[in-house]
């Protein structure tokens, strides 16, 4: 998928057309003390997250604008705290470890600053918000189209499949998450900032978040794994992929005690392969020639042992 960050697409067979069931369906209360025309409220799965409408503001540089890092971080905290409120309503409680991981996700973000053609540029990387699912689906779909050599008119169908896949992955919080990078660029003398989705990556932290239809060679399901990593075409060759990879490693060290991190890289992607090797990843397995029968490229399975004191970001921020 381009320089800086290798797309690590899942096979189309792994994209589910249906999201996890939210819970038991509606029914009528048998008690005679209630009117017959009242229905029970539909129960929701304690880990399911509802799609919230995207709020717009005419002032993009205002602190209350949906494009500002402060507003997005507050929205992220509210969305990731929602499963905790739902567990109290349904009397189904998450383990203390899961609640702690949800809090870690709600406060996690990394900010990177770098010049961009006489402009002030900032890259904010954090967990994906619900209103951003469509944008992330489009970005991944464009990447898959280039990787799988599909005709351009399949983009909408592929975006639909990817969106349903992302909705299913959202239900696995805090065992898996999707990170997004928001790129803010502005002239040095201007106050207005232009924000756009620059990159994305998916992380599974343990066997509960592992993808059942992972790419070959298969990584250990109980170890952290990075996939579906891509950078927008117009923003490549800026070092965004390297910063995204470092941020994934930072989050993994905070979310799990496992230190062996795995990812895939296609054998034909020389630039991403060089980036991974410079970052300390080593090839542990190689795809068989038989993978060509599935119309896929051969891939390397790469592994890196993380250190607890590694900080891959320039400016860590929490709760901002």
pLDDT 10s digit of each residue in the chain, 320 long? 444 444 444 443 343 333 444 444 444 444 444 444 444 444 444 443 333 443 434 444 444 455 566 666 666 656 655 655 544 444 446 789 999 999 999 999 999 998 766 678 999 999 999 999 999 999 999 998 877 777 778 888 999 999 999 999 999 999 999 999 999 987 645 456 789 999 999 999 999 999 988 899 999 999 999 999 999 999 999 999 999 999 999 999 999 999 999 999 999 999 999 999 999 999 999 999 998 888 788 999 999 999 876 555 455 544 33
Q: Strand 260-266 vs strand 119-127: parallel, antiparallel, or unpaired?
A: unpaired
Buried b (16+ CB within 10 A) or exposed e, 153-171: eeeeebbebbbbbbbbbbb
Alpha carbons within 13 angstroms on the beta-carbon side of residue 304 total 21
Catalytic residues: 276
Contact 155, 142 (CB under 8 A): yes
Contact 34, 22 (CB under 8 A): no
DSSP-assigned states of every residue in 187-255: ETT----EEEEEEEEEEE-STTT--TTPPSSPPPTTS-EEEEEEE-GGG-SSSHHHHHHHHHHHHHHHH
Alpha carbons within 13 angstroms on the beta-carbon side of residue 253 total 15
CA distance 223 to 215: 15
């Amino acid at each position: 998928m381009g320089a800086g960050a290798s797309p690590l697409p899942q096979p189309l067979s792994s994209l589910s057309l249906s999201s996890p069931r939210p819970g038991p369906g509606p029914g009528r209360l048998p008690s005679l003390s209630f009117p017959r025309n009242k229905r029970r409220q539909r129960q929701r799965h304690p880990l399911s997250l509802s799609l919230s409408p995207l709020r717009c503001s005419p002032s993009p540089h205002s602190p209350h604008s949906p494009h500002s890092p402060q507003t997005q971080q507050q929205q992220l905290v509210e969305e990731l705290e929602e499963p905790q409120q739902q567990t109290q309503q349904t009397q189904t409680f998450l383990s203390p470890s899961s609640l702690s991981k949800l809090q870690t996700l709600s406060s996690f973000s990394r900010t990177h600053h770098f010049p961009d053609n006489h402009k002030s540029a900032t890259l904010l990387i954090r967990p994906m918000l619900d209103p951003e699912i469509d944008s992330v689906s489009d970005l991944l779909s464009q990447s898959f189209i280039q990787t799988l050599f599909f005709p351009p008119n399949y983009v909408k169908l592929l975006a639909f499949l990817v969106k349903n896949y992302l909705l299913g992955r959202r239900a696995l919080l805090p065992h898996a998450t999707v990170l997004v990078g928001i790129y803010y660029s502005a002239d040095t003398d201007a106050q207005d900032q232009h924000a756009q989705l620059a990159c994305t990556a998916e992380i599974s932290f343990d066997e509960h978040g592992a993808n059942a239809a992972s790419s070959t060679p298969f990584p250990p399901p109980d170890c952290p794994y990075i996939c579906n990593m891509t950078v927008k075409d117009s923003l490549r060759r800026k070092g965004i992929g390297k910063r995204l990879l470092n941020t994934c490693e930072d989050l993994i060290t905070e979310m799990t005690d496992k230190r062996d991190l795995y990812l895939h890289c296609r054998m034909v992607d020389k630039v991403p392969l060089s980036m991974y090797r410079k970052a300390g990843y080593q090839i542990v397995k190689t795809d068989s020639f038989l993978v060509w029968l599935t119309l896929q490229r051969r891939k390397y399975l790469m592994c890196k042992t993380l250190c607890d004191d590694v900080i891959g970001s320039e400016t860590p921020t929490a709760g901002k």
